[in-house]
């Protein structure tokens, strides 16, 4: 089984989530930051997992462009989508804004892994902005391990049912 995890992360939380996933998935797992390489081949993968951190109400633009450009190819794979953000109740809205409706509907799991505001890594402007956000909306830090575990189970079990 071959799995590709595509992600974008500015301050590291999303990246850490992809490490949690890849450590638990059975098979060959490629983890790729879209900021490092957007000329990827999607051939040969059984699953493609795509996720992004949310900034100012949006997933990363590169992720949106990549998924739009490769939509038909992505639709021929098992896909799963996730966000990392501090307002998890908005996750589906962010996914539907950032990915096409067809991808969202074809996705075997649309989920959220939580988020973390790493204050010491933020610019002055980001800090001021997130002070406002966290006061009114989100939690400063929460990690939904149960959602990551559900995705791992879904993918690992799909390999077992293929073998039956
Ligand atoms: C400037 C800024 C804007 C953000 N905007 C949102 C937002 O609109 N909605 C939300 O739920 N979380 C928002 N967040 C929280 C991030 O999504 C969260 O910190 C996430 O874990 C960042 O992931 P990363 O460390 O992989 O970059 C924002 C964070 C920052 C620093």
- Which candidate, 76, 66, 60, 78, places its Cα nearest to that of 3? 78
The full set of domain ranges for the chain reads: 2-116+143-163
Gap from CA of 116 to ligand 1 centroid (Å): 7
What values do phi and psi take at 38, rounded to 5? -110, 5
Reported as a single tens digit per residue, the pLDDT across 34-84 is 999 878 899 999 999 999 999 999 999 999 999 999 999 999 999 999 999
- Nearest protein CA to atom 2 of ligand 1, as residue: 55
- Which pLDDT score, from 0 to 100, does residue 85 have? 94
Categorize the per-residue pLDDT at 5 as very low, low, confident or very high, splitting at 50, 70 and 90: very high
Q: Is the CB of 58 under 6 A from ligand 1?
A: no
Mean of pLDDT values over 128-153: 82
Mean of pLDDT values over 127-148: 78
Half-sphere exposure of 149 (CA within 13 A, CB side): 4
Q: Is the CB of 16 under 6 A from ligand 1?
A: no
Q: What is the third-level CATH fold of 2-116+143-163?
A: Rossmann fold (3.40.50)
Q: Is the CB of 18 under 6 A from ligand 1?
A: no
- Which candidate, 28, 73, 34, places its Cα nearest to that of 51? 34
Q: Which of 22-26, 121-125, 137-141 has the lowest mean pLDDT?
A: 137-141
- Which pLDDT score, from 0 to 100, does residue 22 have? 98
Of 8, 61, 92, 115, the residue with max ligand 1 atoms within 8 A of its CB, to mutate for a pocket test, comes to 115
- Which pLDDT score, from 0 to 100, does residue 138 have? 53
DSSP string, the chain: -EEEEEEE-SSSHHHHHHHHHHHH-SSEEEEEETTT------TT-SEEEEEEEEETTEE-HHHHHHHHHTHHHHHTSEEEEEEE-S-GGGHHHHHHHHS-HHHHHH-S-EEE-EEE--GGGS-HHHHHHHHHHHHHT--SEEE-HHHHHHHHHHHHHHHHHHH-
């Amino acid at each position: 089984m071959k799995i590709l995890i595509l992600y974008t992360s500015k301050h590291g939380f999303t990246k850490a989530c992809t490490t949690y996933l890849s450590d638990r998935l059975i098979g060959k797992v490629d983890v790729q930051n879209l900021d490092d390489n957007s000329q990827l081949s999607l051939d040969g993968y059984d699953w493609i997992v795509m996720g992004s951190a949310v900034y100012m109400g949006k997933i990363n633009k590169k992720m949106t462009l990549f998924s739009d450009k490769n939509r038909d190819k992505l639709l021929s794979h098992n896909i799963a989508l996730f966000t990392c953000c501090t307002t998890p109740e908005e996750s589906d809205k962010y996914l539907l804004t950032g990915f096409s409706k067809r991808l969202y509907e074809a996705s075997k799991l649309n989920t959220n892994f939580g988020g973390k505001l790493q204050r010491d890594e933020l610019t002055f402007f980001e800090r001021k902005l997130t002070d406002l956000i966290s006061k009114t909306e989100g939690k400063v830090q929460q990690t939904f391990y149960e959602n990551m575990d559900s995705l791992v189970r879904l993918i690992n079990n799909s390999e077992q049912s293929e073998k039956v």
